[in-house]
Amino acid sequence: MSIFKGAGVAIVTPFHENLEVNYDKLGELIDDQIARKTDAIIICGTTGESATLTMEEHKQVIKYCVDRTAGRVPVVAGTGSNDTSAAIELSVQAEKDGADALLIVTPYYNKATQKGLIEHYKLISDSVNIPIIMYNVPSRTGCNIQPETAVTIARTCKNVVAIKDATGNLAQTTRMARLAMSDGCLDIYSGEDGLIVPIMSVGGLGVISVLSNVAPEETHDMAMACLEGDYKKACELQLKYTPLVDSLFCEVNPMPVKTAMNLMGMEVGPFRRPMCEMEPKNIERLKADLEAVGLL
């Protein structure tokens, strides 16, 4: 059974000006996302600035999200680490606190061989009982799960059931989909807002989305159109939002999306360093693309 179908938001972590987590604002964002048709909340991922949350904050933010969501949509907790034992600690706690599934990024900086990736995911899988989504984003981690490895992990680990594919390599995604096709061992979610329709056209179930932070209904509608076979509508939406998607990634995520949300009056606060304010020319570009789709 799939964890979710459609568009899950890779939600930001809002901060007060003193850089403490703004839980009241996070609750508002969660409620608004659910009201606007988001199909899942993905908490403490890259967009949630998980790399600069302390271990205790990381656990608290996940628990708060689970409690606030209260079963209305699935909560997928980002609990990955380049240290397998730290990933296990976060994963075990997230399961205790009621997360519906886990998002586990590949080890970053120290990286891993394909054999090491299999062992990494197997050890985490053995520590929990809830479903796991692998997160493959080699542009940020320097580590790429090859299609054969992804399928091996899914067939070896009892609860690794899906992958968030942020490789930007559609040929690799297609090869992985073909390898998993015989037994349906691996659900695929796009990790690229610019490739929602292409990835879903080869069997993807949806997207884990940055765009959903500013356009949740539209992203949901794009993914659902694919699931319903209405690729004409889906393509129209994909093309309409392509310039905005490009602007949301014109600097390092989540800098543009948090800037966009602040421009839209959502008041999600500042970044933790090393994230910093965008270049003025890119802010103007972002404003123009938000205005072009009626979000400003």
Neighbouring-strand partners of residue 165: 136, 190
Q: How confident is the model at residue 241 (pLDDT cuts 50, 70, 90)?
A: very high
Among 5, 59, 63, 164, the one annotated catalytic = 164
Question: Do residues 6 and 136 touch, judged by C-beta distance below 8 A?
Answer: no
Domain assignment present for residue 240? The answer is no
Task: Report the alpha-carbon distance of residue 245 to residue 268 in Å, rounded.
Answer: 19
Residue 262 in tokens: 């602040």
Number of other CB atoms surrounding residue 235 within 10 Å:
16
Task: Report the alpha-carbon distance of residue 291 to residue 264 in Å, rounded.
Answer: 10
pLDDT higher than 80, residue 282: yes
**Mean pLDDT rounded to a whole number for the chain:** 98
Total number of domains constituting the chain: 1
Q: What is the pLDDT of residues 94-118, one digit of tens each?
A: 999 999 999 999 999 999 999 999 9
Q: How confident is the model at residue 21 (pLDDT cuts 50, 70, 90)?
A: very high
Q: What is the pLDDT of residues 103-161, one digit of tens each?
A: 999 999 999 999 999 999 999 999 999 999 999 999 999 999 999 999 999 999 999 99
Task: Report the alpha-carbon distance of residue 90 to residue 132 in Å, rounded.
Answer: 13
- The whole-number average pLDDT for the span 169-190 is 97
> Which of 53, 69, 65 shows the shortest CA–CA distance to 94?
65
pLDDT at 1: 66
| DSSP assignment letter at 194 | G
- The whole-number average pLDDT for the span 207-229 is 98
Q: How confident is the model at residue 238 (pLDDT cuts 50, 70, 90)?
A: very high
pLDDT at 219: 98
Task: Report the alpha-carbon distance of residue 31 to residue 44 in Å, rounded.
Answer: 17
Residue with structure tokens 């938001």?
9
pLDDT higher than 70, residue 235: yes
pLDDT at 264: 98
- The whole-number average pLDDT for the span 268-285 is 98
- The whole-number average pLDDT for the span 244-255 is 98
Domain assignment present for residue 141? The answer is yes
Domain assignment present for residue 158? The answer is yes
Domain assignment present for residue 202? The answer is yes
User: Which segments of the chain are extended strands (E)?
Assistant: 6-10, 40-43, 75-78, 101-105, 132-136, 160-165, 187-190, 206-209
Question: Do residues 129 and 95 touch, judged by C-beta distance below 8 A?
Answer: yes
- The whole-number average pLDDT for the span 251-268 is 98
Domain assignment present for residue 41? The answer is yes
Residue 192 in tokens: 């690229």
Domain assignment present for residue 257? The answer is no
Residue 291 in tokens: 């205005």
pLDDT at 54: 98
Among 5, 59, 63, 135, the one annotated catalytic = 135
Q: What's 128's domain CATH number?
A: 3.20.20.70
Residue 121 annotated in active site: no
Question: Do residues 129 and 91 touch, judged by C-beta distance below 8 A?
Answer: no
pLDDT at 108: 97
Number of other CB atoms surrounding residue 15 within 10 Å:
20
Domain assignment present for residue 286? The answer is no
Residue 112's domain comprises 6-228
Residue 96 annotated in active site: no
Q: What is the pLDDT of residues 57-86, one digit of tens each?
A: 999 999 999 999 999 999 999 999 999 999
Domain assignment present for residue 219? The answer is yes
Q: What is the pLDDT of residues 42-58, one digit of tens each?
A: 999 999 999 999 999 99
